[in-house]
Amino acid sequence: MKIITYNLNGIRAAIRKGWADWVLENDFDIVCVQETKALEEQVDLSVLTDAGYHAHWHSAEKKGYSGVLTLSKSAPDHVVEGCGIKKYDEEGRVLRTDFGDWTLLNCYFPSGTSGDVRQDFKMDFLSDIFDFVTELKKDRSKIILVGDYNIAHTEKDIHNPVSNKNSSGFKPEERAWMTEWFDSGFVDAFRQIHTDKIEYSWWTYRANARANNKGWRIDYQSVTENMKDLIKDAHHLGDAVHSDHCPVYMEIDLTF
């Protein structure tokens, strides 16, 4: 099974850049999108749904903001929009789809770059999503959580760790949360395959950062440890340029 997670920073703009055709050409089994910045009725996905993809949305109440979308070749057995916490659910940040005995969580973690209020919101989300998933694991032991985590975990995941040591997305408390997350029974799919490889998933639009590969790895596919041996490949599709992010790819030995 081929799964990608991709922050599109606006799905309508990405479609104009050929994103939907690119999905079809690559024949992915599951496509998880973050930052759709649109309502379902504002987007024509017929080229994908006509090709057999099932589309499930969780959009923000605020127009043109946040939102997640999961596309899958097989219909999920169960879909849940949100995590049951209003302040996150009204921003369209968590979408759950169940396939047989495993669960996929498509998540868009908040950014704290706009100031202290949103940084505090981000830290609240980290605590609450940890508790949410811990509770979910009691009934659903096989979980994949993909998305834009908005955190670079280690110095290998950011091109300039020294100058960004106190920047949102690389703060010590955020990195500590990532370590706790991966110590709690989850595996970073990319690091499972590539222990030391340097690849990034996001580049600022400033200073020609992408051309110079001055990026951050802030998009992840986490799988519970009971599934880690099923991971066959994981890497970044850096040639896809529909966004300031690139897709994160995982091939895993699962069936719908």
Closest to 215 in 3D by CA, of 178, 241, 244: 244
| H or E segment to which residue 147 belongs | strand 142-148
Residues 169-201 as b/e (b if ≥16 CB within 10 A, e otherwise) read bbbeebbebbeebbeebbbbbbbbebeeeebbb
Neighbours of 159 (CB within 10 A): 18
Q: Would you place residue 162 in the very low, low, confident or very high pLDDT band (cuts 50, 70, 90)?
A: very high
pLDDT single digits (tens) 92-124: 999 999 999 999 999 999 999 999 999 999 999
Q: Would you place residue 201 in the very low, low, confident or very high pLDDT band (cuts 50, 70, 90)?
A: very high
Q: Would you place residue 256 in the very low, low, confident or very high pLDDT band (cuts 50, 70, 90)?
A: confident
Amino acid (one-letter) located at 237 = L
Domain span at 180: 2-252
CATH classification at residue 229: 3.60.10.10
| Contact yes or no for 14/42 (Cβ under 8 A) | no
In this predicted structure, the answer to whether residue 140 has a pLDDT above a threshold of 90 is: yes
Q: What angle do CA 6, 51, 54 make, to 5 degrees?
A: 60
Closest to 171 in 3D by CA, of 105, 212, 126: 126
Q: Annotated catalytic sites, by residue? A: 148
Closest to 106 in 3D by CA, of 207, 190, 202, 6: 6
pLDDT single digits (tens) 223-240: 999 999 999 999 999 999
pTM of the predicted protein model:
0.98
Question: For the chain, how many structural domains are there in total?
Answer: 1
Cα maximum dimension of the chain: 48
Strand 102-108 and strand 142-148: the pairing is: parallel
Closest to 8 in 3D by CA, of 92, 108, 102, 79: 108
CA distance 74 to 180: 33
